[in-house]
DNA sequence: TAGATTGTTAATCGATTAACAATC
DNA sequence: TAGATTGTTAATCGATTAACAATC
């Protein structure tokens, strides 16, 4: 596997998917080279940040031309593991859980939802696309037998930690937490959070108090 | 309207919805007081951060007891505008757009989706819950006539900036960007991003390269 | 009172930006 | 060559943590 020049700091990791998306679309336009300042403009960053970020990778640009799109894309694919398919389970078959399980963009990006679980027995057996909602008691078995690497927590805050514990015990190595609750996991299980309502609430504050953007 | 002691820094704004959620659940348990270190434990922060954060508000704790839950909740409600109802439009009636429009949690949190738009005329008139999918040409009219304050962008990256421009022209003051594309808006229009696939890709990297958490 | 916890100041840490020699 | 753009070092900025006097 790819060895990195150094551990990529969290601030940079957060930008990687955006670089990747941008590079994909430049590649689709058959553009071959991009400079740090062009990328910066596209992503709302400074060229300094872009060059600083790329210095983490084992990949170099060329003076006067910038970065080769194809090479950059290959590097990002490796760093993000975008060339592999992850098996994923969704816990929580509410509105959010159902969407996630159906989300065709996931498949396109290499995230394959293999099962949906819910604690509510009323929901067991009901269909979410191709999948049937399963009871929580099947979780460990499915994760192990199918080699599931990630779990998505789409349950109410009150249940989130219990679900996280189940996922960890079952053996997943990554958790996407969509609940409001902070969850605690062992050091070898990574967690990222994505909270849509929280984003709307932030926005609400910013609108009310006109939190400006930094002036240029 | 509430006046703040000072502008709340972005790092703090990001935590406000989590404080709020936590305080709501403590309140539901009829707990009356909470200390900075208890809150820190619940949210995975340090007590220093909690106290530093709260120093932005016009709200004080009491030595030896901590912070009064009801008072804290009131303060956060005002800061987040959680006591008001925002009218919101969703642009993009794909998988993600439909979910968002149906998401019952939004209503509970004061975000009322009043219309869904899509550029694809095949989708016009089809139902998303109670709502019919409308053509983009109706956007300005609906935003103005209904007093819509926020828009949610749930379209592919390539269309995101155009949609943002439409929303801005129509008069929304906040945009939740769920697309991968960076969008540019005038200074008086706030933007927050929430990208689920990006979160999964971050997670993917962290799992592959075992990005540890900071050791305690 | 004695002890716990706040509010705030100062120190540390990490992220971003600026600057510029190296280089194509 | 001349000029543009990288890669990297140093400076700045902002966020987090530590420390402690004030206080209930």
Going from N- to C-terminal start, the domains of chain A cover: 10-80, 86-198
B137 touches strand D (CB under 7 A): no
Coil, strand or helix: which one is B116? strand
Per-residue confidence (pLDDT) for residue A216, from 0 to 100:
38
User: Which residues of chain A, if any, have pLDDT below 50?
Assistant: 215-216
A52 touches strand C (CB under 7 A): yes
Per-residue confidence (pLDDT) for residue A215, from 0 to 100:
45
Over the stretch A54-97, which tens digit does the pLDDT of each residue have?
Answer: 999 999 999 999 999 999 999 999 999 999 999 999 999 998 89
Chain C: nucleotides under 7 Å from a protein CB?
Answer: 3-10, 14-19, 22-24
Q: What is the largest CA-CA distance in chain A?
A: 63
From A25, A42, A192, residue closest to B203, measured CB to CB: A192
Over the stretch B36-93, which tens digit does the pLDDT of each residue have?
Answer: 999 999 999 999 999 999 999 999 999 999 999 999 999 999 999 999 999 999 999 9
Per-residue confidence (pLDDT) for residue A6, from 0 to 100:
79
* pTM, 2 dp: 0.96
Query: Which among A36, A77, A87, A212 is positioned nearest to B10, based on CA atoms?
Result: A212
Q: What is the largest CA-CA distance in chain B?
A: 63
**Greater model confidence, B215 or B74:** B74
Residues A102, B95: C-beta atoms closer than 8 Å: yes
Q: Identify the burial level of A206 via C-beta atoms within 10 angstroms of its C-beta, where 0-12 means exposed, 13-18 middle and 19 or more buried.
A: buried
Distance of alpha carbon A59 from alpha carbon B155, whole angstroms: 32
Q: What's CA A163's distance to the chain center, in Å?
A: 19
Judge contact between B94 and B154, C-beta under 8 A. yes
From B8, B95, B180, residue closest to A18, measured CB to CB: B180
From A103, A110, A180, residue closest to B96, measured CB to CB: A103
Distance of alpha carbon A208 from alpha carbon B74, whole angstroms: 16
Helix (H) or strand (E) holding B70: helix B69-80
Say whether domain B86-198 belongs to CATH 3.40.50.720.
yes
Q: How far is A62 from chain B (nearest CA, A)?
A: 26
Per-residue confidence (pLDDT) for residue A3, from 0 to 100:
61
- Round to a whole number and report the distance in Å from the CA of A73 to the C1' of D5: 20
- Round to a whole number and report the distance in Å from the CA of A52 to the C1' of C17: 10
pLDDT above 60 for B216 = no
Per-residue confidence (pLDDT) for residue A16, from 0 to 100:
98
- The domain defined by A10-80 folds into Arc Repressor Mutant, subunit A (1.10.10)
Distance of alpha carbon A16 from alpha carbon A3, whole angstroms: 16
């Amino acid at each position: 596997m790819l060895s990195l020049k150094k551990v990529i700091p969290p601030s940079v990791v957060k930008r990687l998917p955006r670089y990747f998306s941008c590079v994909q679309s430049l590649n689709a336009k058959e553009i071959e080279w991009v400079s740090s300042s062009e990328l910066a403009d596209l992503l709302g960053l400074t060229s300094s940040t872009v060059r600083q970020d790329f210095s983490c990778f084992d990949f170099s640009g060329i003076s006067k031309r910038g970065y080769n799109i194809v090479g950059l894309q290959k590097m990002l694919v490796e760093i993000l593991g975008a060339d592999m398919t992850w098996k994923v389970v969704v816990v929580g078959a509410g509105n959010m859980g159902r969407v996630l399980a159906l989300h065709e963009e996931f498949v396109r990006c290499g995230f394959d939802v293999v099962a949906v679980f819910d604690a509510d027995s009323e929901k067991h057996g009901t269909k979410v696309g191709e999948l049937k909602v399963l009871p929580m008691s099947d979780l460990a078995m499915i994760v192990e037998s199918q080699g599931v690497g990630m779990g998505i927590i789409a349950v109410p805050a009150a249940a989130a930690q219990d679900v996280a514990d189940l996922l960890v015990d079952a053996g997943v190595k990554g958790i996407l937490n969509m609940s409001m609750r902070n969850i605690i996991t062992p050091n070898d299980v990574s967690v990222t959070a994505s909270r849509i309502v929280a984003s709307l609430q932030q926005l609400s504050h910013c609108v009310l108090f006109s939190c400006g953007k930094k002036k240029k």
